[in-house]
Chains A and B, each alone.
Chain A
């Protein structure tokens, strides 16, 4: 499904601020894999998601989706088959536009945009149906401007937007980190529900270790631009957060340092 082969990404190359964000990283995902990614500060988790999405070009290696090399395609071309949810709820939606207008754009992801009306009657029905999943009452507020919604509502809407056009790959970059605990839980449950329903292949960066072990079928841990742990199957099922921390220290030779992670556990 997704193949990241020996990818290296260097920021500020040849500059005093040079930073190697990914060091020959390889990762293979089977269809339907839901992989959670954890790691210390600056481990390269977000960079990994961003190079897959095409936000930054890579310096070495290749990225394939369903066997097709995509690493030379610009971001907006790759976006046709990649759904994304960012950490900041403001990034995933257009505030000055209504809920239905945002959904209309998401529905047409990757298609040529024409002079058809964005929000016809049929589409509205689909939007209502999708929004009902949230249980937030947004299905009755289709013409409300998104800027009037709370952060949690916006993020929930973004999850719907990222998945409404059936992407091949879903990228979640700490998408519940900026929400209060209760809303975060709701948004996460919704995400899991949609992933299961649409059988989406997913990469999810999280700062919550407990969450990392509970959600999905596989967990990888990153450190200094590499994958240092890859846990799945039975081994993962019986694992506790403390085991994970111990494994990290053994694999990296360092204590685990992620401010937010330590604060949240």
Chain B
């Protein structure tokens, strides 16, 4: 089997990394299953692509995409905190609404960025060999996001956001308005997700209305893979695990494609990976006596 697919998988893992960090932020830190991600990823791609096609600077286009993503997160936050809509439903509502908005932003179901200047071609023009450009961009973005997120989550505000997901009653009894912390967390997570969308559009040289479908599951799969292989004893390790998980997920996908799986079956495969990963602790506790190789029969608590 040729390993020529590895660099590509690595690049993808890195460019999708911010999105995975966003999913980590909502699902794990905030304990808020946010499905806005699917629509928000496309929103980031659509915004960046449209602005680039309007001759805007690709870097500026990416930044605007990030801001628009944060806005989408705020909408979900508003639906949940002010209108008291359940988290899952609030996310779905925003996601569905974004589908139409994304079409309006793009003005078509897809936009091509072929032979147009993007952040990646800019890096190439700066003198970096073509085959490294996307990888270098991915590493730079992931390191930057990782660093900023790590610092932020240790500020007072960051601590309050983490506590909101851990023990809402406690943090409210300490005088924090959990509506605010949820809004900020959702805005941040969706900004990251839109950042990935914008980068991926420039990497693939197109934005497509369907490119965000199933993104939440991709994000979850990556988070779980990272947690299982790297673990999360400290905050820094948990954040790095999310990025590594994103890379490994892409390597797994590239490998099975290489082995002949039709690409149309990818979503099914991803769904299966996540299902197995989520079910594993339950299966282990139920059948540990008859299947001792599964390890100790304790359902691992999500939080100790």
Most buried by A among B159, B175, B176, B177: B175
Q: Per a CB cutoff under 8 Å, which of B155, B169, B174 touches A109?
A: B174
A116 and B155 contact, CB distance less than 8 A: yes
Chain A residues 15-46 with CB under 8 Å of chain B are none
Q: For residue B181, which residue of chain A has the nearest CB?
A: A113
A96 and B173 contact, CB distance less than 8 A: no
What CA separation (Å) do A68 and B80 show in the bound complex?
32
Interchain nearest-CB distance for A145 vs B (Å) = 7
Residues of B contacting A114 with CB < 8 Å?
Answer: 155-157
Interchain nearest-CB distance for A53 vs B (Å) = 7
Q: For residue B167, which residue of chain A has the nearest CB?
A: A94
What CA separation (Å) do A101 and B163 show in the bound complex?
9
For chain A, the count of residues having a C-beta within 8 Å of the partner chain is 37
**Does B154 belong to the interface (CB within 8 Å)?**
yes
B173 and A79 contact, CB distance less than 8 A: yes
| A75-B156 CB under 8 A given contacts A94-B162, A95-B303, A97-B166 | no
Residues of A contacting B178 with CB < 8 Å?
Answer: 76
**Does B152 belong to the interface (CB within 8 Å)?**
yes
Residues of A contacting B176 with CB < 8 Å?
Answer: 76, 79, 105, 113
Chain A, residues 142-155, CB within 8 Å of chain B (1/0): the string is 00010110000000
Chain A residues 32-87 with CB under 8 Å of chain B are 53, 74-77, 79-80, 84, 86
A79 and B174 contact, CB distance less than 8 A: yes
Residues of B contacting A97 with CB < 8 Å?
Answer: 159, 162-163, 166
B152 and A115 contact, CB distance less than 8 A: yes
B159 and A104 contact, CB distance less than 8 A: yes
Residues of B contacting A53 with CB < 8 Å?
Answer: 173
Residues of B contacting A148 with CB < 8 Å?
Answer: 304
**Does B172 belong to the interface (CB within 8 Å)?**
yes
**Does A186 belong to the interface (CB within 8 Å)?**
no
Interchain nearest-CB distance for A97 vs B (Å) = 6
Interchain nearest-CB distance for B238 vs A (Å) = 10
Interchain nearest-CB distance for B183 vs A (Å) = 14
Number of A-B contacts (CB under 8 A): 93
Chain B residues 99-118 with CB under 8 Å of chain A are none
Q: For residue B178, which residue of chain A has the nearest CB?
A: A76
What CA separation (Å) do A107 and B64 show in the bound complex?
37
Residues of A contacting B152 with CB < 8 Å?
Answer: 115
Interchain nearest-CB distance for A12 vs B (Å) = 19
B158 and A118 contact, CB distance less than 8 A: yes
What CA separation (Å) do A161 and B174 show in the bound complex?
9
What CA separation (Å) do A74 and B158 show in the bound complex?
22
| A105-B154 CB under 8 A given contacts A94-B163, A97-B163, A113-B160 | no
Chain B, residues 281-304, CB within 8 Å of chain A (1/0): the string is 000000000000000000000011
Interchain nearest-CB distance for B50 vs A (Å) = 32
Q: Per a CB cutoff under 8 Å, which of A90, A93, A96 touches B162?
A: A96
**Does A106 belong to the interface (CB within 8 Å)?**
yes
Q: Per a CB cutoff under 8 Å, which of A106, A118, A147 touches B303?
A: A147
Residues of B contacting A75 with CB < 8 Å?
Answer: 172-173
What CA separation (Å) do A37 and B208 show in the bound complex?
65
Residues of A contacting B304 with CB < 8 Å?
Answer: 95-96, 145, 147-148
B175 and A79 contact, CB distance less than 8 A: yes
**Does B60 belong to the interface (CB within 8 Å)?**
no
Chain A, residues 127-149, CB within 8 Å of chain B (1/0): the string is 00000000000000000010110
B162 and A79 contact, CB distance less than 8 A: no
A116 and B170 contact, CB distance less than 8 A: no
**Does A199 belong to the interface (CB within 8 Å)?**
no
Q: For residue A82, which residue of chain B has the nearest CB?
A: B173
| A91-B303 CB under 8 A given contacts A77-B175, A114-B156 | no
Known: A91-B167, A118-B155. 20 other contacts (CB 8 A): A76-B177, A79-B176, A86-B169, A92-B173, A93-B167, A94-B162, A95-B166, A96-B303, A97-B159, A101-B159, A105-B160, A105-B174, A108-B174, A114-B156, A115-B152, A115-B155, A115-B156, A116-B156, A118-B158, A147-B303
Which residues of chain B have a CB within 8 Å of any CB of chain A? 152, 154-160, 162-163, 166-167, 169-178, 303-304
Cβ contacts A to B, 10 pairs, < 8 Å:
A79-B174, A84-B173, A94-B166, A95-B167, A96-B162, A105-B160, A105-B174, A114-B156, A116-B155, A147-B303
